[in-house]
Structure 1
Amino acid sequence: MTQRDLNRAVARATGESVDMIEQMGFGELHESTGERQPNSIDWDEHDDARLAVGAVRRRRLAAAV
């Protein structure tokens, strides 16, 4: 399927103009061959790293005084 064919199909399905669909930038989905990591954050790990950086800064400031 070409990009033009895809744009026409999406336009027909949504009732939008082909020009509007082109502006939105639709593209084909491709299945991933590898597993993706989840988009999540370990807040404990994040806080530990942030606190460690703060402790180093405080020590440097104290040493400079």
Structure 2
Amino acid sequence: MIQQALDRLVASATGDDLREVRRLGFQLADPDQVDYDPEPLSIQPHAIDWDEVDRHRNIRSCN
């Protein structure tokens, strides 16, 4: 697939202007290039343990 065809398909699917799609720089991913973009499963989830936060927040001061 050539870049122009990819840009037109993305613009058609998203409803965005072709210039905007070109500015964003969509390109085909190479499955053999593993360091191109991290897979969702290899990224650690971002989570906050609110119980742990509350434990630190609810410490009485000795004043």
1:46-57 to 2 correspondences below 5 Å: none
TM-score (norm 1): 0.49
Choose between structure 1 and 2 for higher RCO, CA contacts under 8 A separated by at least 6 residues.
1
- State the partner residue of 1:31: 31
Identical aligned residues as a percent: 28
Structure with the greater alpha carbon radius of gyration:
1
User: Counterpart of 1:23 in 2: which secondary structure?
Assistant: helix
- State the partner residue of 1:14: 14
Structure 1 vs Structure 2 CA RMSD: 2.5
Runs of 4+ in structure 1 deviating by more than 4 angstroms, as ranges, are 33-36
Question: 2 CA distance for matches of 1:34 and 1:21?
Answer: 24
TM-score (norm 2): 0.50
Letter in 1 for 2:19: D
- State the partner residue of 2:60: none
**Could you say which structure has the higher helix fraction?**
1
